[in-house]
């Protein structure tokens, strides 16, 4: 069963709505110039909340195939939760994706696996696809416990989702030591954990379903290293941070299929 790769740019807390509009436009042009085939690789940007309305407007107006989404969502449907954004609000802006459980939110906002699972459920309930982030810190990797640690995160987050909704999720394996450090995991490192994640998904939901779930790698992905990572059998795309802020570089990453691995 073939999985369509997903290249998703996580802008984090960068780019205001004017910069977002210009960045999406430049990404669109760069891909258009290259006759990019969006049926072969899905492209998405994951933007700050304040950018989403502008991105919706420009992608609609220019009939772009670039998808977009948010970087977080409330577990609550509505109500007295000052500062939070609901899944319904994001769905209304035609978001396709929502990042949940990014290591920066786990670290700075104390998000637990249970909360991450609830956020994934909220996104799915709104008809969007959660990109569920998992991955270990350096100490855990050095202790050789990275696979067990990451699979425990998978078990805990997916236990919040029913068997019907769970297979609609995307998983992103992001080893924390590779995020923003320039230290990219080797393709074999990425495959080891992404493959183990797929095996666990097969145990949970059956082999056929596990073969349809996309597992991304994130952490210092660039045009220079993406092709080798994407050549691994269980890596179905990238969650790209810093390099996605440069639309021409992100377009080169999306065109990984044209590079020599």
Does position 116 interact with ligand 13P (CB under 6 A)? The reply is no
Ranked by CB distance to ligand 13P, the top (closest) residue is 241
Least separation in angstroms between CB 147 and ligand 13P: 20
Does position 128 interact with ligand 13P (CB under 6 A)? The reply is no
Q: Which is nearer to ligand 13P, 30 or 178 (CB)?
A: 178
Polymer length of the chain: 261
Does position 180 interact with ligand 13P (CB under 6 A)? The reply is yes
Q: Which two tokens stand for residue 198?
A: 């797929």
d(CA 230, CA 257): 8
β-strand pairing of 6-10 with 67-70 = unpaired
Least separation in angstroms between CB 174 and ligand 13P: 5
145 is catalytic: no
Q: Which is nearer to ligand 13P, 55 or 185 (CB)?
A: 185
d(CA 180, CA 137): 13
Taking contact as CB under 6 A, which single stretch among the options 13-21, 72-80, 215-223, 253-261 is the one that binds ligand 13P? 215-223
d(CA 86, CA 77): 6
164 is catalytic: no
Does position 179 interact with ligand 13P (CB under 6 A)? The reply is yes
- Number of residues lying near ligand 13P (CB under 6 A): 14
Other Cβ atoms less than 10 A from the Cβ of 183: the count is: 12
222-238: burial string, b at 16+ Cβ within 10 Å, e else: bbebbbbbbebebbbbb
Check 118, 136, 174, 232 and give the catalytic one: 174
Does position 15 interact with ligand 13P (CB under 6 A)? The reply is no
Instruction: State which of residues 69, 175, 219, 237 lies at the interface with ligand 13P (CB under 6 A).
Output: 219
Strand stretches in the chain, DSSP E: 6-10, 42-46, 67-70, 97-100, 129-134, 170-173, 215-218, 237-240
Positions touching ligand 13P (CB under 6 A) are: 10, 102, 174, 179-180, 218-221, 239-243
Q: Give catalytic residues, as residue numbers.
A: 102, 174
């Amino acid at each position: 069963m073939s999985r369509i790769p997903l290249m998703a740019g996580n802008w984090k807390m960068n780019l205001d709505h004017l910069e977002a509009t210009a960045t999406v436009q430049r990404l669109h042009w760069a891909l258009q110039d290259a006759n990019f085939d969006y049926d072969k690789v899905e492209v998405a940007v994951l933007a700050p909340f304040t950018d989403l309305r502008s991105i919706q407007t420009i992608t609609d107006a220019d009939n772009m195939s670039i998808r977009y989404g948010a970087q977080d969502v409330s577990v609550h449907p509505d109500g007295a939760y000052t500062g939070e954004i609901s899944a319904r609000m994001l769905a209304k802006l035609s978001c396709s994706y929502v990042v949940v459980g990014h290591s920066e939110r786990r670290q700075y906002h104390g998000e637990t696996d249970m909360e991450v699972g609830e956020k994934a459920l909220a996104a799915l309930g709104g008809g969007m696809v959660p990109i569920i982030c998992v991955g270990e810190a350096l100490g855990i990797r050095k202790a050789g416990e990275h696979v067990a640690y990451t699979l425990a995160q998978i078990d805990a987050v997916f236990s919040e989702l029913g068997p019907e909704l769970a297979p609609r999720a995307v998983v992103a394996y992001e080893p924390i030591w590779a995020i923003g450090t320039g230290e990219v995991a080797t393709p074999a490192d990425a495959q080891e954990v992404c493959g183990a994640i797929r095996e666990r998904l097969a145990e949970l939901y059956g082999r056929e379903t596990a073969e349809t779930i996309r597992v991304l790698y994130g952490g210092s992905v660039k045009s220079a290293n993406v092709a080798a990572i994407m050549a691994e059998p269980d890596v179905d795309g990238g969650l790209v941070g810093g390099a996605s802020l440069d639309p021409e570089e992100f377009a080169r990453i999306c065109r990984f299929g044209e590079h020599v691995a």
